[in-house]
Amino acid sequence: MSTFQKEVESRYDDMTEAQKKVAHYVIRHYEQVAFFTLEDLAEEIGVSTTTVIRFARSLGYNGYSDLLSHIQQIIKMKMDLPQRLEEFDTSIDGDSLLVQTFERDIENLNKTLNSLDPHKTNMFVKELLDAHTIYVLGLRSSFSIAFYCAAVLGQVRENVRLVHFEGDMAPEEIIGATAGDVCLTFSFSRYTQRTVDIAKWLHEQKVKILAVSDQALSPIADIADLIITCEVKGMVFKNSVVAPITLVNYFVAALAAADKTKALQTLSKNDGLLKEGKYFAI
């Protein structure tokens, strides 16, 4: 998450509704904003030029031109995946690379832990406990997190369903979703529109959306009932999944602790099925 995004989020609650519209647009479309005049941006968002200027000044900039210059600098530093790999310093020796990789994820974990709001995490756990069915959603790189989440949650409580798109079967996987269910959604940059579309449809069915993302103003935020952010800065060209996976481990531990009897019953059923199937090494 960039320093600019963090600054916008830290001041977001103090903004007017019109300034919040500017914040949402700038965070999600800053590549286009870099080429907008003040008038162009105001017209695109549907606010006054004064609102845009006040938004810029609320972040500590002298005005729109100052904000625009900063956004253009961000664009210069932004690279696609091949460019990120191209810029990677391959001269780092193996031992140093090992240490730096671990240190990067330790930093991700520390930043995530320090940013967590205990009240919000407790609300997440309560929603997961009270849900009739938990749908777990994450596509592309986030699928590995969603798959792990569904697997371990399914060991301590019943009615956990992974939305996995095999054979393009997503509609059949979620068609029975209704009020009383929740969808635990993982969405990190680069965000997939399909994730947002599925979560939006579920939200329209009165399903609560619990989102885990890398920024509080990510596309999934508009429809999320609750959102928790994680640091996912990778060492080379891909996001790290260490902090989100650790958060999943917390959810599982919290659910098991909240209803140990039910967790034991579910785990015993799972274990029994595995033994009956004569799985190797079980």
Q: Are 185 and 138 in contact (CB under 8 A)?
A: yes
Q: How far apart are CA 61 and CA 1, in angstroms?
A: 20
* Residue 238 neighbours by CB under 8 Å, 6+ apart: 81, 141
- Number of H helices and E strands in the chain, helices first, is 14, 5
Q: How far apart are CA 38 and CA 36, in angstroms?
A: 6
Residue 177 DSSP one-character state:
-
- Report pTM: 0.71
- Which part of the chain is CATH 1.10.10.10? 3-77
Give pLDDT, residue 93. Answer: 66
Query: Does the domain made of 3-77 have the CATH classification 3.40.640.10?
Result: no
Please list the residues that pair with 229 across neighbouring strands.
Answer: 213
Binning the chain into helix, strand and coil, the percentages to the nearest 5 are: 60, 10, 30
Query: Does the domain made of 109-276 have the CATH classification 3.40.50.10490?
Result: yes
Q: How far apart are CA 263 and CA 256, in angstroms?
A: 5
- Which part of the chain is CATH 3.40.50.10490? 109-276
Give pLDDT, residue 1. Answer: 44
Strand-strand pairing, 160-163 and 134-137? parallel
For every residue of 18-55, DSSP letters joined together read HHHHHHHHHHHSHHHHTT--HHHHHHHHTS-HHHHHHH
258 burial (CB, 10 Å; 0-12 / 13-18 / 19+) is middle
Reading the block at residue 131, the tokens are 């849900």
Ramachandran area for residue 142 (φ above 0: left; ψ -120 to 50: alpha; else beta): alpha
* pLDDT tens-place values along the chain, 282 residues long: 456 777 788 888 889 999 999 998 888 887 788 888 899 899 999 999 999 999 999 888 888 888 887 787 666 555 555 555 555 556 666 678 888 889 989 999 998 999 898 999 999 999 999 999 999 999 888 899 999 999 999 888 889 999 987 656 567 788 888 999 999 999 987 788 889 999 999 999 999 999 999 877 778 888 899 999 888 887 766 788 899 999 999 999 999 998 888 878 887 887 777 777 655 555
Angle at 185 (CA atoms; ends 125, 204), nearest 5 degrees: 100
Residue 190 DSSP one-character state:
S
Phi, then psi, of 239 in degrees rounded to 5: -65, 150
Please list the residues that pair with 187 across neighbouring strands.
Answer: 213
